[in-house]
Structure 1
Amino acid sequence: MPSSSASRIDPQTLRTTIAVLVGGIAVILDSTIVSVALHELAADLDTGVDTIQWVTTGYLLALGVVIPLVGWLQSRMGAKRLWIASLAVFLLGSILCAVAWDASSLIAFRVVQGIGGGAMVPLMTTMIMQASRGPERGRLMAMVALPTAVGPILGPVIGGLILGVADWRWLFLVNVPLCLAGLLLAWRMLPADGPATRVRLDVVGLVLLSPALVGLLFGLSNVTGDGGFARSDVLAPMIGGLVLLAAFVVWALRRRGAALVDLRVLRSRPTWSASALLFLSGASLYGAMLLLPLYFQELRGADALGAGLLLIPQGVGSLVSRTAAARLLERLGARGVAAIGFLLVGIATIPFAFADANTSIWLLMVALFVRGLGLGIVIVPVMTVAFVGLPHDKVPHASIVTRVAQQVGGSVGVALLAVILSASATATGSPALAFDAAFWWAVGFTVVAVVLSFALPGRKALAEDDPATVAAAEREASEAVAEV
């Protein structure tokens, strides 16, 4: 009889995973827990919703600024020091948000939170992937996928429950015990590591990439307003962001291993295929998280908390599928598990594409549970294989690339589905038909993802972690450093 997952994982690797998960849960929940409180925040701080929206937008843009720097910061500080410093910054931002006295101070303090959180999310994946190898990674990623998949779903629910019994300031104070526990565990359980080889900061790359991500994320965040993609505050930052991103790609390919983010990791099929699938999974998850609450509110008459509670089956499905995903990964490989997961997500979204105000709520609850099963299954193989065959020093670069892909994919999914929903409502004059059209687009994301899943490596590559490829990549990296 096979031993338990925990017993087959290296003890130090398991301790590292537990330590970063405890601190990381607060960051993952924080990305959506505030979304249900915008109207209450606007009323309490005596400002408009358009201003208080920057509580979310400022946090998002801070992530875009910090994420590209994580690889360089890790090389200068070491993973343990950077993790503890980032978690401390996030804790400070949470406390400051709880004592904010007006909208401007709250927005500024959310940026502080975003700076800490922006470093933690890619670093969490990097630390776990660098500490593990082979089949062990699938079991570890099943643990990491739990807050990653469930956090965006349960965030609004937890936020609504907190607002039901307490002041909005507790949305931020709830982070304090998690952060303190995370700091204690990080200090006690993370292995000590000093800075790696001193790497010069690629200033040109930073000046190109960080503003590029900020421009793209800011432009996409404005799409939900009237005018969609035709708005000047959408087109200008997006075009600017795309131009800067193209310039960064040219610059990074010339700089090779000395670039802020080494894009040569995308030469690896596991990395580029996983990045593309994370883009699509981000679009599917976050795009649907725009549509689903709106459907329950606008067509079914639920309030914000009621809509959040109706999404609980999706979170339960993700919880249930977590263990199964790791076992399926070992038996079927990433290719088969990802295809099955995206297929479940697509099939379970179809009932919403036919739904109206009178559709059986129980049918939709079952569909949400199945959709959660698919989402929980998808994250594990995609995040696991993204690092197959990469040498140790390239893992931070791959982690940044995959995180950016998921973040931008989520923003694209929200923006695109918001525009489709608005345009369809105008064209048909029927909210029900507008939601049907938007959900069909969400199904389309998953169809593309099912096809792309077959570009992932098979079970053999994951089991062996392709040592020959790792050695070849390490030789290539050494040659590149010598050339620079």
Structure 2
Amino acid sequence: MPAMRDASVDRELVRLVGVLLLGAMAALIDTTVVSVALGDLAKVFGVDVSVVQWASTGYLLAMVAVIPLLGPLVDRFGTRRLWLGTISVFLTGSVLCSTAWSIESLIVFRVVQGLGAGLILPLVQAILAQAAGPQRIGRVMGLVGIPGQLAPVLGPVVGGLIVGSLGWRWIFLVNVPICGAALLLAGRNLESPGTTPTSRGSLLKTRSLVVGALLVFLSGACLYAPMLLTPLFFQQVRGYDVEQVGLLLAPQGIGLMVSLWFTGRWADRSGPRVVAAFGALMLALGVVTLALGARAPLSVLLTALVCMGIGLGGIGIGASAASYRDVPSGSIPRAAALVSVVQRAGASAGTVTAALVLQSGSFVRAYGWVLALIGVSGAVVWFLPSGAAGGSRSDAMREAADVDCRC
């Protein structure tokens, strides 16, 4: 597919987004869909839930371990063949999981599935960043982010329906038609732009990528720390039960999805700095309200969650747009791998630190730590590029227009 250099998000690019997200949704939902079946799996295989949990842990560890291989694999095979191969590995792992005869075999097959899933999401970002170019990267990343926010909500729901009606093996077999359709559509619509192998050290000389990756790390921590704290806040401080908390957290997801939609367009028009700065302010407002909201009206707390969602979207889009903005087209796959690893590291650091602070202190102290983290993010924001992407990358975009379909 020829690279598209105009600023509009045309039908061809939207179709490409749809083709890639079909495969991505299977991997995203599968991250959480198994969680509802842990009890059933423990009974079927006659082991404790703590042992069955390794079916999820092994999947996640395999996802993280394979990400650094993205750049070399794209250099070797091209994005089209790697996408088809990655979906095929995920599909094979899904089928194998459905045939598991013991907990040991299930864990091994989940690792196979995770090796495929780990490359899917960064590969989606790499392909779309190459196709969109710097003028449209914000809107494209916004479109990609919306399904990512729906997956954690849909996963347990879908898993519960499948386990209750068809049994645990169909949690994995349901991926077969989805992956089959993804392979068929990708074979018809996806081509590989040429890539120019680039060392990781060379990428780190790109200032916008370095600053964007640092902000990705911080935004990952800012996202996952409140994800740990907020449900506990509503349960332990405000006295709501688990079922109610799930509904109470919905405004944050709604705010995030809305934010991903409009901040992507805003970042393309005005540059990533102003969008990320707006996101930091909104996120800080929401966190301060929760930190001081032990006796606040519920409507105030729900508004704070909306602000947090909008803020997280703004920071995330600003960081993503900056990360890919000045990277040569052929080096984007390696940049996507770097961004994905950094994001997961930030999420882990945020979760662990928030848990430690809460254990040794109070919710006010824990949210205060998140607020300090937002302050650091706000300082980093001022080093992001300002203004819309101009013509400085015209040569790189012309390079992307020369299609090298490595079939």
TM range (shorter): 0.7 to 0.9
Check whether the contact 2:271–2:386 (CA below 8 A) recurs between aligned residues. Answer: yes
What is the CA deviation profile of residues 39-89 of structure 1, one whole-angstrom value per residue up to 9, with x for unaligned ones?
A: 554455432333233223212221232111111111222211111111122
Q: SS at 1:457's partner residue? A: coil
The answer to whether 1:448 aligns with 2:376 is yes
Query: What residue number does 2:318 align with?
Result: 381
The answer to whether 1:422 aligns with 2:359 is yes
Alpha-carbon shift at residue 297 of structure 1 (Å): 4.4
Query: What residue number does 2:191 align with?
Result: 191
The answer to whether 1:75 aligns with 2:13 is no
Alpha-carbon shift at residue 455 of structure 1 (Å): 0.9
Query: What residue number does 1:396 align with?
Result: 333
CA distance, structure 2, for counterparts of residue 177 and residue 289 of structure 1: 32
Query: What residue number does 2:300 align with?
Result: 363
Q: 1:322 aligns with which of 260, 277, 285?
A: 260
Query: What residue number does 2:274 align with?
Result: 336
**Residue 147 to residue 160, structure 1, CA distance change in 2 (3 Å):** same
Alpha-carbon shift at residue 126 of structure 1 (Å): 1.0
**Residue 158 to residue 419, structure 1, CA distance change in 2 (3 Å):** farther
Query: What residue number does 1:85 align with?
Result: 85
CA distance, structure 2, for counterparts of residue 140 and residue 41 of structure 1: 38
Check whether the contact 1:153–1:314 (CA below 8 A) recurs between aligned residues. Answer: no
The answer to whether 1:464 aligns with 2:391 is yes
CA distance, structure 2, for counterparts of residue 310 and residue 168 of structure 1: 29
Moved more, 381-390 or 288-297: 288-297
Relative contact order: is structure 1 or structure 2 higher (C-alpha 8 Å, sep ≥ 6)? 2
The answer to whether 1:405 aligns with 2:333 is no
CA distance, structure 2, for counterparts of residue 436 and residue 188 of structure 1: 54
TM-score, normalised by the number of residues in structure 1: 0.73
What is the CA deviation profile of residues 410-441 of structure 1, one whole-angstrom value per residue up to 9, with x for unaligned ones?
A: 111111112222223xxxxxxxxx33322222
- The residue type paired with residue 463 of structure 1 is G
CA distance, structure 2, for counterparts of residue 366 and residue 166 of structure 1: 39
The answer to whether 1:107 aligns with 2:44 is no
Query: What residue number does 2:125 align with?
Result: 125
Check whether the contact 1:41–1:168 (CA below 8 A) recurs between aligned residues. Answer: yes
Query: What residue number does 2:366 align with?
Result: 438
Alpha-carbon shift at residue 352 of structure 1 (Å): 2.5
What is the CA deviation profile of residues 201-229 of structure 1, one whole-angstrom value per residue up to 9, with x for unaligned ones?
A: xxxxxxxxxxxxxxxxxxxxxxxxxxxxx
Q: How many residue pairs end up in the alignment?
A: 393
Structure 2 matches for 1:291-310, cutoff 5 A? 291-299=229-237, 300-303=239-242, 305-310=243-248
Query: What residue number does 1:345 align with?
Result: 283
Alpha-carbon shift at residue 334 of structure 1 (Å): 0.4
- The residue type paired with residue 15 of structure 1 is R
TM-score, normalised by the number of residues in structure 2: 0.85
Check whether the contact 2:137–2:325 (CA below 8 A) recurs between aligned residues. Answer: no
What stretches of structure 2 of length at least 5 have no aligned partner? 1-5, 401-407
Q: SS at 1:455's partner residue? A: coil
**Residue 264 to residue 16, structure 1, CA distance change in 2 (3 Å):** same
Check whether the contact 2:256–2:311 (CA below 8 A) recurs between aligned residues. Answer: yes
- The residue type paired with residue 379 of structure 1 is G
What is the CA deviation profile of residues 270-314 of structure 1, one whole-angstrom value per residue up to 9, with x for unaligned ones?
A: 1011101111111122222222333344553423x5433332222
**Residue 159 to residue 272, structure 1, CA distance change in 2 (3 Å):** farther
Percent of pairs with identical residues: 38
- The residue type paired with residue 281 of structure 2 is L
What is the CA deviation profile of residues 332-381 of structure 1, one whole-angstrom value per residue up to 9, with x for unaligned ones?
A: 3200101111221221122332344x654433222222222222233223
Q: SS at 2:324's partner residue? A: coil
- The residue type paired with residue 308 of structure 1 is G
Structure 2 matches for 1:18-417, cutoff 5 A? 18-35=18-35, 37-39=37-39, 41-152=41-152, 155=155, 159=159, 167-191=167-191, 257=198, 259=199, 262-299=200-237, 300-303=239-242, 305-356=243-294, 360-417=297-354
Q: SS at 1:267's partner residue? A: coil
Moved more, 441-450 or 267-276: 441-450
